[in-house]
Amino acid sequence: MGRGKVQLKRIEDKISRQVTFSKRKGGLMKKANELAVLCDVEVALLIFSDRGRLYEFCSAESLEEILERYRIHVDEEAAVCRRAELEKNLPECTDLRTSANPLQMIQRHLDAQNIEQKNITELTELEKELDAILRQTRYRKTQLLMEAAKAVQEGEKQPRKEKTFMEEEVAEMSENLDNHYNRPLEPESNSNSNDPPLSPLQETLLHLF
């Protein structure tokens, strides 16, 4: 685009390189924004200029938000690999996410192995695994809370139905989370039976902490 065609290689002339940088940076930011808005996706763009100045664009509230999401994504991918490795070396240590009781599983894993020098590597792997799960937990919890908050707000404005769509969704996500961790169930209810029964949404919120 422009008077001349352009070779895909570093522009040697310093002046025109900087002019081009300024122009294209603007164009790229604009395009990034268009993609985010038109397609309703999350976009983050980081540019460090020659002299180390930072230019950034992000579609979300803050770049940190997207970077945290990125970290979680990477963790998840890494976890898949690690899990495959673990299972190869330790068949009895099945996937923590699907096992009946993660805590018991970890305990058993720790008991079964003499804690020797030799096992530090495996322990490190386990540590990473747990750290990744923890991050995901926090992230999903935040998501759930935001959904729930939204549901509460909207619920107040809407005529009461049996169950709002949002509540159903939140309840479903909560259920998934419970399965995910297979939290040992508390006695069904030890609350004072004089209290009024909780709404599905309230119960959901209760279970998040």
- Is the Cβ of residue 58 or residue 93 nearer to a second copy in the bound state? 58
- Is the Cβ of residue 69 or residue 108 nearer to DNA in the bound state? 69
Let me know how long the chain is: 209
Amino acid at the residue 168:
E
Q: Is 10 in the site for DNA (CB under 7 A)?
A: no
Determine the Cα–Cα distance for residues 116 and 96; give it in Å rounded to an integer. 23
Determine the Cα–Cα distance for residues 159 and 107; give it in Å rounded to an integer. 49
Choose among 2, 43, 44: nearest CA to 19. Answer: 2
Q: How far is the CB of 54 from a second copy (least distance, A)?
A: 5
Burial class (CB in 10 A: 0-12, 13-18, 19+), 94: middle
Which positions lie near a second copy, rule CB under 8 A?
A: 6, 8-11, 17-18, 20-21, 24-25, 27-28, 31-32, 34-35, 37-50, 52, 54, 56, 63, 66-67, 69-70, 73
Looking at 9, 10, 40, 53, which residue binds DNA (CB under 7 A)?
Answer: 53
Question: Is the CA virtual torsion 115, 116, 120, 125 positive or negative?
Answer: negative
**Contact map string, positions 13 to 52, toward DNA, x by CB under 7 A:** --xx-xxxxxxxxxxx-xx------x----------xxx-
Residue 2 interacts with, from a second copy, DNA, none (CB under 5-8 Å by kind): DNA
Determine the Cα–Cα distance for residues 47 and 56; give it in Å rounded to an integer. 6
- Is the Cβ of residue 49 or residue 176 nearer to DNA in the bound state? 49
Tokens describing residue 124: 């490190």
Q: Is 5 in the site for DNA (CB under 7 A)?
A: yes
What residues pair up with 57 in beta bridges, in sequence order? 45
- Is the Cβ of residue 28 or residue 130 nearer to DNA in the bound state? 28
Residue 4 interacts with, from DNA, a second copy, none (CB under 5-8 Å by kind): DNA
- Is the Cβ of residue 76 or residue 87 nearer to a second copy in the bound state? 76
Determine the Cα–Cα distance for residues 135 and 76; give it in Å rounded to an integer. 10
The contact set with DNA (CB under 7 A) reads 1-6, 15-16, 18-28, 30-31, 38, 49-51, 53
